[in-house]
Amino acid sequence: MTAPNPRLDRTFSALAHPTRRAILQRLSEGDARVTDLAEPFAASLNAISKHILALERANLVIRRKEGREHMLRLNPEPFDGALDWMVSRAELWKRRLKLLDVLLQSDHRNS
């Protein structure tokens, strides 16, 4: 039945933007402030702030306020959730496609 899973929706759509993937990559090297994260990009600070918000909505990033600075930390948990889903689907699908292929071949021999 594979219940609908809104967490996957948010995780995948967060991952669908190259800037957000780059931000995650950067955060894997250590926590960083909003300004630090924005620095390598051409886009405005505000644009990056919004991307961070999207990552927060997906729970891929956790914010901790230290005075006027916001420290962002990578949270791999939902990422692992999406990864698990993909792995299980990949296995299932590959198995089934292989089976269908075999059926098709024997069908061919019988026709």
Partner DNA sequence: ACAACATTCAACCAAGTAGTTGAATAAATG
Partner DNA sequence: CATTTATTCAACTACTTGGTTGAATGTTGT
Which residues contact a copy of itself (rule: CB under 8 A)? 2, 4-6, 8-9, 12-13, 15-18, 21-22, 24-25, 28-30, 74, 76, 79-80, 82-83, 86-87, 89-90, 92-94, 96-97, 100
Q: What are phi and psi for residue 87, nearest 5 degrees?
A: -60, -45
Of 24, 5, 4, residue with least CA distance to 14? 24
Q: Is 6 in the site for DNA (CB under 7 A)?
A: no
Chain CA centroid to CA 104, Å = 36
Q: Is 97 in the site for DNA (CB under 7 A)?
A: no
Neighbours of 48 (CB within 10 A): 21
Return the residue matching tokens 């024997």: 106
> Which residue lies nearer to DNA by CB, 64 or 95?
64
Residue length of the chain: 111
Q: Is 83 in the site for DNA (CB under 7 A)?
A: no
Binding site for DNA (CB under 7 A): 13, 16-17, 19, 33-36, 42-47, 49-54, 63, 66-70
